[in-house]
Amino acid sequence: KDVQKEREPHVYLSKEEVKEKIQSYNSSVTDKLKMTLNANGIYTGFIKVQMELCRPITVQSSHSQGRSAPSNQETAFYLPDGCVNTLHISSTNTVREVIEALLKKFFVADNPAKFALYKRCHKEDQVYTCKLSDREHPLYLRLVAGPKTEMLSFVLREHETGEVMWEAFSIPELQNFLRILDKEENDQLQMLKNRYAAYRGKLEEALRGVLKPG
């Protein structure tokens, strides 16, 4: 169930409270992805983000990395369902910075403004998905919820705009989308041809059996 972002007040924890929560968190970790508290009060740790993208992403090749303008070295493809990525971040990193870091890690050339980070949590035997604001701190949410992803997990999606805002995409991106659609259309057409060819073969075989003398 998708719901609007709940207005949850950010509880400012003292350094001692943070230390206690991190100790409790680390004692419950089962995948070695523990948090570390620094002397300045900033803590670091890991979050896992599940990619739930409906549209293809544009990825830079190694030759085009670092260029601001689109190039022919960019390709678009669909990410497989359920793809999960792990990021090492600090308590000062915001949602917007996490999105940018996630896209940069995998050389995604799309504008970060096209994406939003959601939290998925269990409440009263139901699963809720809430969009996070750009200035929230994912590692703080992870610390408060504990390490169990059943209690809290993060999901990257495209912004829900009702309809796709095609003007937000570059010309090379749109051209890549068209190529993907052409390929999908050809694949579906070939599947239909193969299916009917198989039916035709079975019918012809049945006819030969009926018409066979004797």
Total Cβ atoms within 10 A of residue 32: 7
Q: Is the pLDDT of residue 172 over 80?
A: no
Nearest to 73 by CA among 167, 176, 180, 166: 176
Supply the pLDDT for residue 163. Answer: 47
Report domain extents, the chain: 15-161, 169-211
CB of 18 closer than 8 Å to CB of 136: no
Q: Pairing state of beta strands 126-131 and 36-37?
A: unpaired
Supply the pLDDT for residue 15. Answer: 87
Annotation: CATH topology of 15-161: Ubiquitin-like (UB roll) (3.10.20)
What three-state secondary structure class fits 27? helix
Which range, of 144-153, 158-167, 173-182, 188-197, averages the lowest pLDDT? 158-167
Confidence of residue 138 (pLDDT cuts 50, 70, 90): very high
Confidence of residue 169 (pLDDT cuts 50, 70, 90): low
Confidence of residue 180 (pLDDT cuts 50, 70, 90): confident
Query: pLDDT tens-digit profile of 22-70?
Result: 999 999 998 889 999 999 999 999 999 998 888 778 887 654 444 444 4
Give one word for 110, left, alpha or beta, with left for phi > 0 and alpha for psi -120 to 50: beta
| Mean pLDDT, residues 8-30 taken together | 85
Q: Is the pLDDT of residue 18 over 80?
A: yes
Supply the pLDDT for residue 127. Answer: 81
Query: pLDDT tens-digit profile of 55-110?
Result: 778 887 654 444 444 445 677 777 777 789 999 999 999 999 999 999 888 788 88
Ranges of beta strands (E only) in 70-202 are: 74-77, 83-90, 115-123, 126-131, 152-158
Mean pLDDT across the chain: 81
Confidence of residue 208 (pLDDT cuts 50, 70, 90): confident
Using the structure block, give the residue that is written with the tokens 């390709």: 75
Which range, of 29-38, 116-125, 178-187, 188-197, averages the lowest pLDDT? 178-187
Supply the pLDDT for residue 28. Answer: 93
Q: Rounded to the nearest 10 degrees, how much is the dihedral formed by the CA atoms of 126, 138, 50, 169?
A: 120
